[in-house]
Amino acid sequence: MEQEVLIPLLLKKDEKAYTMLYDMYAKNLYGVIYNLMRDKEEAEDVLQEVFVKIWKNIDSYNTSKGRFFTWIVNIARNASIDRLRSKGFNNAQKNLSADNFVHLLDDSNKANFKIDSIGIQEFIKKLKPKCIKIIDLLFFKGYTQQEASEELEIPLGTVKTQNRNCIADLRNLLQV
């Protein structure tokens, strides 16, 4: 089913369209969420919340403001960041044993924790090094622009400008 058919059906709250939406995008959204959460059960929980948010907020999607996939990826990314910042999640992480983190040592040698969750790794590699750093922090690691500014030790305004320019460069590479 194409987006041009799917979106009007979702607006009509068609349950078959919801099933199609899930079938079309669940794997991609799970990849984005898991890349931020690094916890299978939490990622599955957030994925479920994301599809509920999409269902409830489909009326707010505006085709003139961007692609549908970008809109739902932003919902997934924001929901993941919200969960990571939540007090309950942070408290639960404090109580985990060290055994839960052994895999991080093994994975740390793999290139950027396999950030290719939505298939754009090759395009990102073609960007300038400063763009790679900014996109990695903002989109793959879930930093706010303020946090990225502090991490990179550059002014907030510079982060915002470079982020806009880097996204424009990425769009040019993707030809969208």
Q: Give 110-159 pLDDT, tens digit per residue.
A: 444 444 445 666 777 788 888 888 888 887 777 888 888 988 999 999 99
Question: What residue has token string 């400063």?
Answer: 130
pLDDT at 89: 56
On the question of pLDDT at 35 being above 70, the answer is yes
On the question of pLDDT at 94 being above 60, the answer is no
The predicted model scores a pTM of 0.54
Side chain identity at residue 36, one-letter code: L
Q: How far apart are CA 85 and CA 124, in angstroms?
A: 26
Which range has the worst mean pLDDT, 39-43, 59-63, 104-108? 104-108
Q: How far apart are CA 66 and CA 61, in angstroms?
A: 9
